[in-house]
A = this chain, B = another copy of it.
Amino acid sequence: MANGSGTPQGNGHAAGPAPLDASRTTVTLAASLKPVPPAEELVFGKIATDHMAIAHYDPVNGWSAPEIKPYGPLMLDPLSSCLQYSTSLFEGMKAYLGADDKVRLFRPEMNMARMDRSRERIALPPVDFNEVLKIIKRFVKLEERWIPRVQGHSLYIRPTLIGTRASLGVGASDHATLYVICSPTGPYFRVARPLSLKAVGDYVRSWPGGTGGYKLSLNYAPTFHPQTVANKEGYDQILWLLGDKITEAGAMNFFAVLMRDDGDWDVVTPSVDGTILPGVTRHSCLELTGAHGSEISLYGLPSNLKLHPQERDITFTELEEASASGKLLEVFVVGTAVVVASVEKIGADGKKDIVLQRYEGSFGPVARGLYEKITGIQEGREQFRDWSVVCE
């Protein structure tokens, strides 16, 4: 009857593959729950919570009903597109538990919008990311006991989309799996000191027409070998160059603070030109810098100090010159995992180290102001616009 009726009514496929629908989510709880380790023992990304959220797409049926179910392995065909051709992408988000016992996300709609751009760049099937955010909120509330109740700690959320077409034919994946996992986390860098960077130009992270502007898994593997070499040389992270131009630092966005002739400070970060990840923290730092002295006052900075956020090219040579002339006030890196971290030294083969001024504690003045403000908003201690979103 269903196949022979000739009418589209009652046939779920008549309108094409089913879209992702958070309201169809089923929940299966783990039979036993894992112990939550003490906050001070947490290492970034090592352990997952008790459950995961998952949904599957095929071109005939579309998206399956999402499931929240006990955390466990994925079963993947060895031919899968994600394994053979790296059709995979992710986001990094965090959930915070406030003193008011509310669970908050930080600007999650920006992650969802970026995830959709990443998806399109590697031709994965369509996803309604409004629905993904609904699933994430529900999932995070379920895992609330995993959110460390310690300042500077949070539950790291990793939404992931992978291509699961089982064929070696070199082409787009028309099958996909979306999954979300969570991992409780403390400070990304366990060291309580500023970072050292090694400027690298012979390995290149991104280039015009490439994928450096998207949060794709494939941007990371090529960085591991040079990162390992830099670590052996005593550097914490790589400062990625494209020619003389600075792009990113490790997997983080880069900022430099420069003294102007009029006494104001320029807060400079590379433009989003396709080689730079448009980071949520990067964007937030630019907005907060611009708001200092009017809408807000950043901790530790005089409110009559004018900060000028600038998105523009910045070269290694400019850094060297600004350092030599005493105009380079501070350098810091930002990202969801690290939030904000200051830099104390930048080395490069055959060049003199750029040594940054050391400030009290491990932060430069702008880095500290931004760190305090952002974590304050994230943890619900402060309000700023609609940046903090409560999971009801």
Taking Cβ atoms with an 8 Å cutoff, the residues of A that contact B are: 43-46, 48, 52, 71, 73-79, 82-88, 90, 120-123, 156, 158, 160, 162-163, 167-173, 179, 181, 183, 201-204, 207-211, 216-225, 227-228, 250-251
Contacts and interface: CB of A to CB of B under 8 A. Distances in A.
A209 B217 contact: no
Nearest to A335: B170
5 contacts: A83-B88, A122-B221, A158-B168, A203-B209, A210-B210
Contacts of A163: 221
Contacts of A48: 78-79
A121 B225 contact: yes
Q: Which of A52, A171, A183 has its CB near the most chain B CB atoms (within 10 A)? A: A171
A24 B168 CA distance: 29
B204 A210 contact: yes
Given A156-B168, A170-B251, A202-B209, A87 B221 contact: yes
A169 B224 contact: no
A52 B78 contact: yes
Nearest to A252: B170
B225 A84 contact: no
A210 B247 CA distance: 14
Contact of A88 (B71, B86, B225): B86
A216 B219 CA distance: 12
A161 to B, nearest CB: 10
B77 A73 contact: yes
A115 to B, nearest CB: 14
A41 to B, nearest CB: 15
A76 to B, nearest CB: 5
A217 B211 CA distance: 14
Contact of A83 (B45, B84, B217): B217
Contact of A122 (B90, B201, B224): B224
A44 B216 CA distance: 27
